[in-house]
């Protein structure tokens, strides 16, 4: 993909996702994620109904009339998008790949954050951390993030969520809003998730394709394992094969949902042929209630 084509794609994603974040998500995002607390803003004269606990006694004594301290929410937050760029994200049987949907969701979240003057960072991972962009503010920074999501070519095709979580835990010392976007075709990240979930506001967004849920009965089919690069012949006519595949798939889904729930983190499941807009809005509204 040449530079002109990449910029065109970045612009297309910006137009689509910016409209969503401007008109739909920014308000929901603001109410869902709270600031670090209340910070002092100013003093003003006491008005009927003010809480007497907010009276500033030093200023009151100086002017011989009551003044109160005014506090406001310390809003500035930091969001980090942890995005799976392993080989399985290039699977898709509908209009687009899982990676395309992940890019759109990431862009929508990033624009929602900068609408609220928050910082946004990006961590791309496979079975290693492929790229980390430290959190910053501003549209130019978000456009760089979108560009990386579109054109980045990972060194590895495999997945290791635990490795990414441990890296994030080391580089992000202050509390942040974390979104992990993946198909979660991985195991063994339970302990790392607990550690990160205790410190950060964490949400897992599982993006999947309907044909990953179960194999259709279409006879002998060559199948490519996107993460190992190996092609094997699979007899999809065999009920045993289909049942075994489905059991393994459901095991991974259960691990994703139960692991996140145990760590007190949020979950969103969205299929690439469904509206991720409804899923995100529903999640934000529930979180902000």
| pLDDT tens digits along 181-225 | 999 999 999 999 999 999 999 999 999 988 788 777 777 777 756
Strand ranges (E), the chain: 38-45, 67-73, 78-84, 119-125, 129-136, 177-182, 201-208, 220-224, 231-235, 266-271
- Looking at the predicted structure, is the pLDDT value of residue 145 above 90? yes
- Looking at the predicted structure, is the pLDDT value of residue 36 above 60? no
Domain with CATH 3.40.50.410 in the chain: 3-32+75-208+266-288
Q: Considering the entire predicted model, what is its pTM?
A: 0.78
Give the homologous superfamily in CATH for domain 3-32+75-208+266-288. Answer: von Willebrand factor, type A domain (3.40.50.410)
Coil/strand/helix, residue 165: helix
The Cα angle at residue 77 between residues 75 and 80, in degrees rounded to 5: 160
Averaged pLDDT of the chain: 84
**Integer Cα distance of 81 and 101 in angstroms:** 14
- Looking at the predicted structure, is the pLDDT value of residue 39 above 60? no
Coil/strand/helix, residue 124: strand
226-239 mean pLDDT: 73
**12: confidence class by pLDDT, cuts 50, 70, 90:** confident
Which of 4-8, 68-72, 196-200 is predicted most confidently? 196-200
Rg (CA), the chain: 23
């Amino acid at each position: 993909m040449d530079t002109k084509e990449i910029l065109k794609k970045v612009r297309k994603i910006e137009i689509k996702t910016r409209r969503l974040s401007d008109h739909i998500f920014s308000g929901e995002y603001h109410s869902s994620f709270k600031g670090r607390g209340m910070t002092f803003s100013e003093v003003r004269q006491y008005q009927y109904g003010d809480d007497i606990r907010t009276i500033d006694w030093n200023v009151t004594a100086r002017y011989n009339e009551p003044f109160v301290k005014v506090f406001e929410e310390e809003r500035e937050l930091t969001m980090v998008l942890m995005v799976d760029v392993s080989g399985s994200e290039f699977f898709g049987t509908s209009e687009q790949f899982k990676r395309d949907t992940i890019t759109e969701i990431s862009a929508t979240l990033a624009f929602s954050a900068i609408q609220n003057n928050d910082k946004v960072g990006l961590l791309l991972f496979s079975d290693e951390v492929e790229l980390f962009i430290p959190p910053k503010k501003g549209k130019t920074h978000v456009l760089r993030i979108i560009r990386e999501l579109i054109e980045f070519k990972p060194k590895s095709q495999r997945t290791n969520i635990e490795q990414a979580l441990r890296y994030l835990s080391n580089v992000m010392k202050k509390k942040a809003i974390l979104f992990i976007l993946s198909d979660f075709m991985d195991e063994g990240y339970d302990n790392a998730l607990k550690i990160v979930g205790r410190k950060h506001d964490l949400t897992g967004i599982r993006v999947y394709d309907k044909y990953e849920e179960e194999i259709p009965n279409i006879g002998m089919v060559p199948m490519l394992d996107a993460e190992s690069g190996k092609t094997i012949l699979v007899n999809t006519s065999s009920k045993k094969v289909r049942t075994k595949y489905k059991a393994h798939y459901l095991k991974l889904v259960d691990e994703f949902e139960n692991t996140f729930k145990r760590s007190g983190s949020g979950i969103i499941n969205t299929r690439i042929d469904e509206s991720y807009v409804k899923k995100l809005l529903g999640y934000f509204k529930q979180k902000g209630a």
